[in-house]
Amino acid sequence: MSAERYLNHPTFGMLYRVAPAGEGRDVYATLYAQRMFFLVTLQPRGAQFEVIPYQDARHHAEVHLNRCRREAPAEVENWRQLFDQTFI
């Protein structure tokens, strides 16, 4: 499993990475109020945060989980636990 990743949002505080979203973007959720999700693009001079709905964040996480099932079955259980903690 890849290492946990955290970012500090200027307004909402600490965010944790839920899943990669492709194209150099990742889905992050607020650490304390876990119903706010962001599509984050890291850039050389900071990060771009885009608020996304719960269903979009869940979709990105499910796509990633399905990709793990095909490409890296050993990581599936770790990602499944994070998915369950975040979306259920």
Tokens of 21: 């979203």
User: Which pLDDT does position 34 carry in this prediction?
Assistant: 63
Q: Rounded to whole angstroms, how far apart are CA atoms 75 and 14?
A: 25
User: Which pLDDT does position 50 carry in this prediction?
Assistant: 94
- Whole-prediction pTM: 0.81
Domains of the chain are: 6-87 (2.30.30.660)
Tokens of 84: 């369950």
Tokens of 8: 């500090």
* pLDDT tens, N- to C-terminus, the chain (88 residues): 457 889 988 888 899 999 888 888 999 999 877 689 999 998 888 889 999 999 999 999 889 888 888 887 777 777 778 778 777 6
Edge-first strand order for the sheet with 37-43 is: 6-9, 13-22, 25-30, 37-43, 46-52
